[in-house]
Amino acid sequence: MTKEEKVQFTLETLEQLYPETPVPLDHKDPFTLLVAVVLSAQCTDERVNKITPLLFKIADNPYAMAKLTVEEIANIIRPCGLVPMKSKGIHSFSRTIVEKYNGEVPASFDALEAMPSVGHKTASVVMSQAFGVPAFPVDTHIHRLMYRWGFSNGKSVEQTERDAKRLFPRDLWNKLHLQIIFYGREYSPARGWDLERDIITQTIGRKLEIKNWYKAQELKAKKGSTSKKARR
């Protein structure tokens, strides 16, 4: 396959599997999405979605959130991990939104990334999912699969994002990045990866990745055979 054919196969397969792409983090507006995305750093979406209702019941807007103390926020979000950084960041950017942007989350990459605890990935998620601005947030699943599929060299998240934006049509970015995440979780995870279920990697994947998977299966089979003999 040519690179263009591989891209087209990937797009068509993902669209068949995931015609609908609901945002995994529960939210009702740009602010609650921003908070949820910050909480999701090194935390599962499932856990975040259990914690945010407790937090948003008390403060679901920047005015209310800014009135809470950092300690009050920390006590609620503790199960999400990285508590000191996240609680300080949420409190601080809530104050910034109130004082600088009249309580409205700014629809600007530069403005978002200038706020505490808001990096490029977080800003990209908010810009794409809250404001509909084309962006390609790269998480661990996307970074892994872009390398596994031979679409990027895996050297950095920044390079992966550049490659994704170069390869895929701009009008698909906002939906496509979610499709790749869903696919990575279901069919091509980092741990417990089963190539036989992973149709995209089977078809267009990096040859070395495929070769290494088969080697790993052979090694497992040999170890299993050895342990059986030892028990006899």
* C-beta separation of 45 from 139 below 8 A: no
* C-beta separation of 103 from 97 below 8 A: yes
User: Which residue of the set 6, 60, 121, 198 is catalytic?
Assistant: 121
Record the tokens describing residue 150, joined without a space.
Answer: 């031979």
What's the maximum distance between 2 C-alpha atoms anywhere in the chain? 74
User: Which residue of the set 45, 100, 139, 165 is catalytic?
Assistant: 139
The yes-or-no answer on residue 121 being catalytic is yes
Buried b (16+ CB within 10 A) or exposed e, 111-134: bbeebebbebbbbbbbbbbbbeee
Say which residues have a Cβ less than 8 Å from residue 173's Cβ, sequence separation at least 6: 128, 134, 135, 136, 164, 165
The yes-or-no answer on residue 139 being catalytic is yes
Catalytic annotation, residues: 121, 139
